[in-house]
Chain A
Amino acid sequence: MSQRDEQLKLIDIEIEKHKGDASSLMQVMQYSQDIMGYVPMDVQVRIAEGLGVTLSEVYGVATFYSQFALEPKGKYLISVCLGTACYVRGSQSVLDRICEELNVEPGKTSGDGLFTVEATRCIGACGLAPVITINDEVHGRLTADDVPNILKPYLKG
Chain B
Amino acid sequence: MITLTIDGTEVKVEKGTTVLEAARKAHIHIPTLCFLKDLNEIGACRICVVDAGARNLQASCVLEAQDGMVVKTNTPRVREARRTILELILSNHDKKCLSCVRSQNCELQKLSLELGIEDGEALGGERTHYEIDESSVSIVRDNNKCILCRRCVAACSKTQGCGVIGAVNRGFKTSIESPWELPINQTACIRCGQCIAACPVGALYTRNEIDRVWDMLADDSLYTVVQTAPAVRAALGEEFGMPMGTNVTGKMAAALRRLSFDKVFDTDFAADLTIMEEAVELVNRIKTGGVLPMITSCSPGWISYCEAYYPEFIPNLSSCKSPHEMLGAIVKSYYAEKMDIPVEKIRVVSIMPCTAKKYEAKRPELAANGYPDVDAVLTTRELARMIKTAGIDFARLPDEDFDSAFGESTGASVIFGTTGGVMEAALRTAYDVLTGESLEELDFHQVRGVKNIKEASIKIGDNTINVAVVHGTANAKELLETIKAGEKEYHFIEVMGCPGGCVTGGGQPIVPAQERIDVDPRIERAKALYSADAEKPLRKSHENPSIIKLYEEFLEEPNSYKAHHLLHTKYTQKSKYPALEK
Q: Which residues of A contact B (CB under 8 A)?
A: 41-42, 44-45, 53-60, 63-64
Q: Report B580 CB to chain A, min CB distance, Å.
A: 6
Name B161's closest neighbour in chain A (CB-CB): A54
Most B CB contacts (10 A, CB to CB) among A53, A56, A58 go to: A56
Residue contact A63 to B169, C-beta cutoff 8 Å: yes
When the two chains form their complex, are residues A55 and B179 in contact, meaning their CB atoms are under 8 A apart? yes
Given A41-B580, A42-B580, A59-B179, do A54 and B169 touch, yes or no (CB 8 Å)?
no
Which residues of chain B from 125 to 170 have a CB within 8 Å of any chain A CB?
153, 156-157, 162-170
Given A41-B579, A45-B577; A64-B179 close (CB under 8 Å): no
Q: 27 A-B contacts, Cβ less than 8 Å apart?
A: A41-B179, A41-B579, A41-B580, A42-B580, A44-B179, A53-B163, A54-B157, A54-B162, A54-B163, A54-B164, A55-B164, A55-B577, A56-B156, A56-B157, A56-B178, A57-B157, A57-B163, A57-B166, A59-B166, A59-B179, A60-B166, A60-B167, A60-B168, A63-B168, A63-B169, A64-B167, A64-B170
Whether B172 is near chain A, meaning CB under 8 Å from some CB there, is no
> In whole angstroms, what is the CA distance A54 to B153 when docked?
11
* Residue ID in chain B nearest A59 by CB atoms: B179
Say whether chain A's binding surface is mostly helix, strand, loop, or mixed: helix
Contact across chains for A56 and B164 when beta carbons are under 8 A apart: yes
A50 → chain B closest CB, angstroms = 14
Interface size, B (range): 10 to 19
CB distance from B317 to the nearest CB of A (A): 23
Determine the distance from Cα of A60 to Cα of B181 in the docked complex, in whole angstroms: 11
Residue of A nearest to B579 (CB): A41
Q: Give CA–CA (A75, B170) in the complex, Å.
A: 27
Cα of A78 to Cα of B274 in the assembled complex, Å: 66
Most chain B beta-carbon neighbours within 10 Å: one of A42, A45, A63, A64: A63
Q: How far is the CA of A64 from the CA of B169 in the complex (A)?
A: 5
Chain A proximity mask over B541-582: 1 for CB below 8 Å, otherwise 0: 000000000000000000000000000000000000101100
A56 to B168, CA, bound (A): 8
- 5 interchain residue pairs of minimum CB distance: A54-B163, A56-B166, A59-B179, A60-B166, A55-B179
Distance of A56 Cα from B170 Cα, bound (Å): 14
* Max chain B C-beta neighbours (<10 A), residue from A42, A44, A55, A64: A55
State whether A56 touches B169 (Cβ < 8 A). no
The smallest beta-carbon distance between A126 and chain B, in angstroms, is: 25
Known contacts A55-B163, A56-B166: does B178 contact A41 (CB below 8 Å)?
Answer: no
B163 touches A56 (CB 8 A): yes
The residue of chain A having its C-beta at the shortest distance from the C-beta of B171 within the complex is A64
What's the Cα separation between A56 and B153 when bound, in Å? 9
Write the chain B residue with the least CB distance to A61: B166
By beta carbon, the residue of chain B nearest A65 is: B170
Looking at chain B's contact residues, the main secondary structure is mixed
Q: How far is the CB of B128 from chain A (nearest CB, A)?
A: 15
Instruction: Render B73-96 as a binary contact track against A, CB cut-off 8 A, 1 for contact.
Output: 000000000000000000000000
Say yes or no: A45 contacts B168, CB within 8 Å. no
Residues in chain B near residue A44, CB distance under 8 A: 179
Q: How far is the CB of B227 from chain A (nearest CB, A)?
A: 36
* B157: A residues at CB distance < 8 A: 54, 56-57
CB distance from B49 to the nearest CB of A (A): 25
Of the candidates A41, A42, A54, the one whose C-beta lies within 8 Å of that of B166 is A54
- Docked CA distance A58–B577 (Å): 14
Q: Are B180 and A59 in contact (CB under 8 A)?
A: yes
Q: Give the residue of A45, A56, A59 whose beta carbon is less than 8 angstroms from that of B580.
A: A45
A42 to chain B: which residues have CB within 8 Å?
A: 580
Q: Are B577 and A56 in contact (CB under 8 A)?
A: no
Cα(A41)–Cα(B168), bound, Å: 14
Q: Residue on A with the closest CB to B164?
A: A56
CB-CB under 8 A from A60, the residues of chain B are: 166-168
Report the Cα distance A59→B181, complex, angstroms: 10
**A56 contacts B165, CB within 8 Å?**
yes
Contact B179 A58 (CB under 8 A): yes
Q: How many whole Å from A129's CB to the nearest CB in chain B?
A: 26
Residues of A within 8 A of B579 (CB): 41
Report chain A residues within 8 Å CB of B163.
53-57
Q: How far is the CB of B36 from chain A (nearest CB, A)?
A: 18
When distances are taken between beta carbons in the complex, the residues of chain A under 8 Å from B577 are: 45, 55
Q: Provide the residues of chain A in CB contact with B169, threshold 8 Å.
A: 63-64
Residue among B162, B179, B577 having the largest count of chain A Cβ atoms under 10 Å? B179
Chain A neighbourhood of B178, CB < 8 A? 56
User: With A and B bound together, what is the CA distance between A56 and B179 in angstroms?
Assistant: 5
> How distant is B154 from chain A, measured CB to nearest CB, in Å?
12
17 other A-B residue contacts (CB within 8 Å) besides A55-B179, A63-B170: A41-B180, A41-B579, A45-B580, A53-B163, A54-B163, A55-B577, A56-B156, A56-B165, A56-B166, A56-B178, A56-B179, A57-B166, A58-B179, A60-B166, A60-B167, A63-B168, A64-B167
- Alpha-carbon distance A59/B577, docked complex (angstroms): 13
- In angstroms, Cα B169 to Cα A63, docked, is 5
Identity of the chain B residue whose Cβ is nearest the Cβ of A42 in the assembled complex: B580
Name the B residues within 8 Å of A55 (CB-CB). Answer: 163-164, 179, 577
Complex alpha-carbon distance, A53 and B179, angstroms: 13
| Set of chain A residues within 8 Å of B165, measured between Cβ atoms | 56
A142 nearest CB across to chain B (Å): 29
Q: Which residues of A contact B164 (CB under 8 A)?
A: 54-56
Whole-angstrom CA separation of A40 from B157 in the bound complex: 22
Q: How far is the CA of A8 from the CA of B170 in the complex (A)?
A: 28
Q: Which residues of A contact B166 (CB under 8 A)?
A: 54, 56-57, 59-60
**Neighbouring A residues of B153 by C-beta, 8 Å:** 56
* A-side contacts of B162, CB under 8 Å: 54
Chain A's closest residue to B188 (CB) is A55
Give Cα A45 to B163, complex, Å. 13
